Each structure stands twice: as C-alpha cells, then as structure tokens.
Amino acid sequence: MKFVIAALFLTIPLFWSKTFGHHGRVGAPILYKADDLVILEGELIDIFWRFPHVRFGLSVQTNDAEETVWELEWGIPNVLEGQGITTDFFQVGDPIKAAGHIALRDDRSLGLLHLLLPNGQEFAPRGRALLWSSERVQTIQQEYDPSEVEAAKRTAKGLFRVWSSTKLPTQVDAAHNFDHLLTPMGQQALAAWDPVKHPVLECVPRGMPARMLAGPIEFLDGGEQIAIKSIWWGGERVIHLESGHVPAGTEHTRLGYSRGSWDGDALVVETTHVDWPYFDRRGTPQSDQMEFVERFEMSADETRMEDILTGTDPVTFTEPVTVKTDWVWTPGREVYTSDCVLWDGK
C-alpha cells in the first residue's frame, strides 16, 4: 500500500520489525503499530532534547500546501549522548527524512528507526540495513576522562561506585515472563493493561522494581542510609540500615520503604509499602501487598555485581517470582538525572 501526504508519506508493510524497540531507539515496541514502516520527509521545526525521550517536530507539506506537524520520537538523551549523538547534529530548518512506526497513542507521532541527516549520513540501529544512504552515522563507544577513571578506582569502596546494567530493560523483560504464575486477579489485571496509558508516558517516575532494572546506578554511602542514584527522574532511592521494623504510619510510595543489612560484603534489602501497579515494563501487575527481597553481591575482583530480586505478592502471584540483573563497574562514569518534561510541540 502506498499513499502520499505532501513531500512524502509512504506506508510499507513489514514482516520483520516487531522486535526492534527499546530505549535508545523508540521505546517499547508494544506502543507502536509495528506492522508498517512509515516514511516522512519535511522540515525540522522543533528540537526537544529532554527526558523521557528526544523528540523532533517535523513539518510536512501536503500537495495542497497544507502543513501537517509530526512528532518524531527517538531515544533517551543521555544514551544518545553516550553514543556521540548530540544536538549539534541538528538545526531547526534542516530538511529531514525519517522512517519508523506510528505510535498507538497518537497517529501523528512516529517512533524513529531511520533518520537521514542533511549531510547525507543515515542513522539506523546497529545491524539494520540503511534505506537511503551508503554512509551510516557512526556512533561511538563512550569514553571517560582518564583522570576521573583513576580517581574512581582510588576511591571505590565496596558497592559504593557506579554500576551499568549489562542488558537493556526489554532484554530483562524478555528473559522473565511470569504470566503463568498469575492468580485469577492478576490475569484479569494484565488483560486490562493498556500500554498507551502507562503513567511513565505522563512523566510519572517509575516505581519498584522497574526502577532497578536499568542503569546506570550509583550506590552512595550515607552512614545510616544508603542512597541509590539513578538516571531516571523521581529522586534517589533510600535504603535504611539497622532498621528492624517499618515505622508506624509509613505510607505507600512508588519506591516503598527499604530496610538494608549486610551479609558479609553483600547487601540484603527488604522493601514493603510499594504503591506501583506494575512488576515490569510488560504490564505484569502487582498489588500493594508486594514485598521485595534484593541481594546485591560483587564478584571477587569487584568489577561485576549480581542483583537477585525476589517478589512475593499473594494477590497477583501464586508463588514468589525472581529476577536476576547483572551489573558491571564503570569507573569514571557519572550518573546524572534530567527532569521529565512533556513535549507540547503540537
């Protein structure tokens, strides 16, 4: 099928694209009409380089000279910057050619898979064939200041350092499917899940445990408390040490109330009072009765860390569920957070 809106708007049926998406490209594939690849050509009129995703405004002229403004959704800002892609690549007024999948939430929003730049270079995910150019935008392996790397190596103490996850969030989700362990109430909640209405799309910060399934993160020693700093907006997670009980009157929050203790060099954390409806990014439900136990343990050479999280929730699961996340120490890397801002370019 092929039709035209202004400069160019083509729809090409696809049979190989449903597994493309994750952060750094266009987010979860379940949020897009992944059967068709849509091609747009127009003028760049807005650059929005903020969490949760980079967005561009693209003006497309129809054959009768009417303007249609499209939102082009790309990856997370600091992930793109870590690959060497910055706002320096773009200027308002640039001619842009783009291809991707239309979002379910908005039929004028396109999740980017291909982007042809004015210099003739084309961005496409690694391993994906280019559509228009013979020259691919070369991303880089992020490098850190050697002096900061050495400083981090000198000051690292136990878990208190920066850790990067070895898998993408969607890879973690793909490795852990708990649908068969859902109670009837859990199955009902999953069936009613609408990914387009996920609170994160409205800049609501992620809660536990999804907050811990992607990095980088940094453990900060605060004496009687440990803070876990994340790239995600919504504040640091706090773990209370030497706390034998949850204070009376503790309210449920997105991250819950966490109590930690040391088992040798391993940190064991118990978390209750979580007010967040999803166990993962696939919409697997959890109730306010969910309780988590996490064990963070480093390798003997202190370059890797294993995080084993077990959740127990009698409302939604028939038995405890466990997720294992592997982390690697990245000395010299800085964990910084940017506020989430909704794009109002249309």
Q: Kind of pairing, strands 237-241 and 257-263?
A: parallel
Helix (H) or strand (E) segment spanning residue 99: strand 95-103
Residue 13 has pLDDT above 60, yes or no: no
Q: Are strands 162-165 and 95-103 parallel, antiparallel or unpaired?
A: unpaired
pLDDT value, residue 186: 97
Query: What's the rounded Cα separation, in Å, for the pair 44 and 201?
Result: 23
pLDDT of residue 90: 92
Task: Write out pLDDT tens, residues 268-312.
Answer: 999 999 999 999 988 999 999 999 999 999 999 999 999 999 999
Q: Which of 15-29, 123-137, 296-310 has the lowest mean pLDDT?
A: 15-29
The predicted pLDDT at position 345 comes to 63
Amino acid 134: pLDDT: 94
**How sure is the predictor about 327, in pLDDT bands with cuts at 50, 70 and 90?**
very high
Place of tokens 């007024």: 93
Q: Residue 218: how many CA atoms within 13 Å on its side-chain side?
A: 21
Q: How confident is the model at residue 15 (pLDDT cuts 50, 70, 90)?
A: very low
Cβ neighbour number for residue 111 with a 10 Å cutoff: 25
Q: What is the model's pLDDT at position 29?
A: 65
Instruction: Please report, for the chain, the start and end positions of each structural domain, with discontinuous segments joined by +.
Output: 8-123, 146-329
CATH topology of domain 8-123: OB fold (Dihydrolipoamide Acetyltransferase, E2P) (2.40.50)
Could you tell me which of 241, 209, 220, 227 has the C-alpha nearest to residue 325?
209
Please say whether the beta carbons of 124 and 136 come within 8 A. Answer: yes
How far apart CA 313 and CA 315 sit, in angstroms, is 5
The more confident residue out of 6 and 299 is 299
- Least confident residue range of 149-153, 267-271, 310-314: 149-153
Q: What pTM was estimated for this model as a whole?
A: 0.81
Q: What is the pLDDT of residues 170-197, one digit of tens each?
A: 677 777 889 999 999 999 999 999 988 8
Amino acid at 293: V
Q: What are phi and psi of 97, to 5 degrees?
A: -120, 130
Is 265:297 a contact under the CB 8 Å cutoff? yes
pLDDT tens-digit profile of 205-263?
Answer: 999 998 887 778 999 999 999 999 998 887 899 999 976 789 999 999 999 999 999 99
DSSP 110: E
C-beta of residue 120 within 8 angstroms of C-beta of residue 136: no
Q: What percent of the chain has pLDDT over 90?
A: 60
- If pLDDT is split at 50, 70 and 90, which confidence band does 44 have? very high
Which is more confidently placed, 107 or 170?
A: 107
- For residue 180, the one-letter residue type is H
CB distance 336 to 231 below 8 Å = yes
Bridge partners of 51? 340
Separation of alpha carbons 303 and 300, rounded Å: 8
- Adjacent-strand bridge partners of 159: none
* CATH topology match: 8-123 vs 146-329: no
Q: How confident is the model at residue 316 (pLDDT cuts 50, 70, 90)?
A: very high
CA dist list (Å): 63 to 8, 96, 100, 278 = 10, 18, 22, 45
Identify the pLDDT of residue 317.
Answer: 98
The answer to whether 286 and 316 are in contact (CB under 8 A) is yes
Share the mean pLDDT of the chain.
86
User: Which CATH fold topology does 146-329 show?
Assistant: Lipocalin (2.40.128)
